[in-house]
Amino acid sequence: MQPGSFDLQKYVRAGNPKTPMEELINLASNACNKVRRRVAENSNLSLDTLLRLAQDHDPEVRIAVGENKAASEAIVEKIASDEHIDVRLALAENSNLSKRVLHLLAKDENPYVSNRALNTLEKLEQLASNKGAVVVFSITHRQGDSELRLRALS
């Protein structure tokens, strides 16, 4: 197999929460960006490895770190100021980030990033004022069903 080529077995191991930490650390250095991205998505990853992956040359890997619930607030803040607009855009629409990070993104110099963060904050405010909508929003966000269809079912 050529360096950087896709290895399905390593990809699967990288995403498995039961993969030993030592193996995850090794996979975090894999030449294939898809494997490193999958490692960055693993919620059982150490903060040291997340921090290292937060500096990866591939923006998709950095996005995965920023969206990982195991990432510390400091790591997410670092990624929120990433030089690559796609990284900041992805974080700006993530409703699982802290309001503090979303407010930082709302002040981004790029109008697309700041607007997306403001929209996410607005959605969170609307959800907070309508607790029943939280379930609808969560389901639609995850599964792609239309909100109207789900409301009709409730």
Tokens at residue 6, please? 């896709």
The pLDDT, as a whole number, for residue 104 is 97
Domain-located, residue 30: yes
Write down the pTM of the prediction: 0.80
Q: Can you tell me the distance from the alpha carbon of 67 to that of 147, in angstroms, rounded to the nearest whole number?
A: 24
- 70 within a domain of the structure (yes/no): yes
Residue 47 lies in a domain: yes
Distance of CA 18 to the CA centre of its chain: 20
Domain count, the chain: 1
Give the model's pLDDT for residue 95.
Answer: 93
CB-count exposure of residue 71 (10 Å: 0-12, 13-18, 19+): buried
Determine the structural domain holding residue 72 and report its residue range: 1-80
Flag whether 103 is in a domain. Answer: no
What is the C-alpha R_g of the chain?
17
How do the pLDDT tens digits run along the chain, 154 residues long? Answer: 555 577 899 999 999 999 999 999 999 999 999 999 999 999 999 999 999 999 999 999 999 999 999 999 999 999 999 999 999 999 999 999 999 999 999 999 999 999 999 999 999 998 888 765 555 555 444 444 455 554 555 4
